[in-house]
Structure 1
Amino acid sequence: MEEQILLDKIIKQESWEDLIDHIVAMEGLDPWDVDLVKLTDTFLKYIERIETLDFRIPAKVVLVAAVLLKMKAEVAWPTIRQRPTEYSFESLQDDLTSYEEIKQKLQQMTLEPGPIRIVKRKVTLDELLGALTKAVKVEDRRETRKKTLGKRIRRQIDMSEEDIEKRINALMFEIDSFLLQLGSDKVEFSKLVKTWDRDQIVGTLLPILYLATRGKVGTEQEDFFKEILISKRKEI
């Protein structure tokens, strides 16, 4: 019965805080000294159960599971620190993003732990919820930035075919002009961008991608964040 209640909460996408509270109560965990290993194992068990029922797992539930897994690893294999441990998950955006990745990480946790052991301070339920809330807010800010960029890109794409063709032709003319002026077979992407802001960068890059797809130009970049070089391909 308790299992069904928790499954219903996840399926109905109730708050992850309610899920944590319910697991603590259901498993009889001490709210003043939460057993992170047991809490994480129970949380992951129910996510896996939801997956077998072929229901969509809410994104924030997956995120919280990833954070719990990270905390479990810290508890299982602690390292020596110069000051009391503070849970910080600012780098979470580079960590796990899907349940499959969580399962892979969970399997890795069966590896033999290192020889160092220290006694960690107790973690209360309030502290745990606070750390998880912080991680969720970090991810929310990241998603907001991604959506904002997506809207700007869509604004660049949302135009008639005639407008797109005009921009492509205009950019091709600019590339030809720069190549002639420089006496070179390549021109830097930065020279084609009139104003170095995100909208202009995206607005210039998209026509170049169209031209590259059509085989009109070639692009190369020695390394990430290095200059992109544009060259004109010979007509066959």
Structure 2
Amino acid sequence: MELNLDQILQSERAWEYVLLDIVRSENLDPWDIDISRLTAKYTERINQMKEFDLKVPARLLLAAAILLRMKSDRLVDSEEREAYAELLRGDEEFLFGDDDEESGPSEEVPLLTLITKRKHLRKITLEDLIGKLEVSMRPKERKVKVEPFVLVFDEVDITEQIEELYTKIMESKKDKIPFDDLLPSKTREDMINTLMPLLHLANDSKVKLVQEKLFEDLYVLSEKN
């Protein structure tokens, strides 16, 4: 899957490409995303882009701010939450800066409230996370009073997609399958919908994903190899 970095950064869904790549490269469990680790790697990736003088899109920064607040909201201990709130403000200032309006998000970051029991925090799947980030970044009418945005994580079942993709991989005669061969089409939607179940298969050790360099061709090796 050969992707041009400039094209990705210009896409409205650049934040989603970055999330998926982090899940793949860091071997995160797509059935139980570690929000703290994902957030740390996401902000680290944005900082790397800034070091290379790349223009970071507003939606990438907006997603970072939402992830930081989700991470803070999932902290159980109240003192830990209060201490993290200070770090959060520092992280947002570092990400967005004080005087560069163009680099900061043009949309208001919604207040987030996770509906979950503090002693037994619900697992967040990759599909949950992407879906809720997508909803929270939709344009909203500005109001004088900002209402809290409530995140209620619904179960997302992609078992059928995973099984269909696994069957397709096992029936392939190639030992090393190019990611493009598994795509119904080259649309961004089909790329995302194919990559997500593929990450689940890799997490279950049913396939191996091979990509020598970031954004270069991605290959799939099945367990039969």
TM-score range, shorter chain: 0.3 to 0.5
Q: RCO (CA 8 Å, sep 6+): is it higher in 1 or 2?
A: 2
**TM-score, length of structure 1 as denominator length:** 0.39
Q: TM-score normalised to the size of structure 2?
A: 0.41
Identify, as 1 or 2, the structure richer in helix: 1
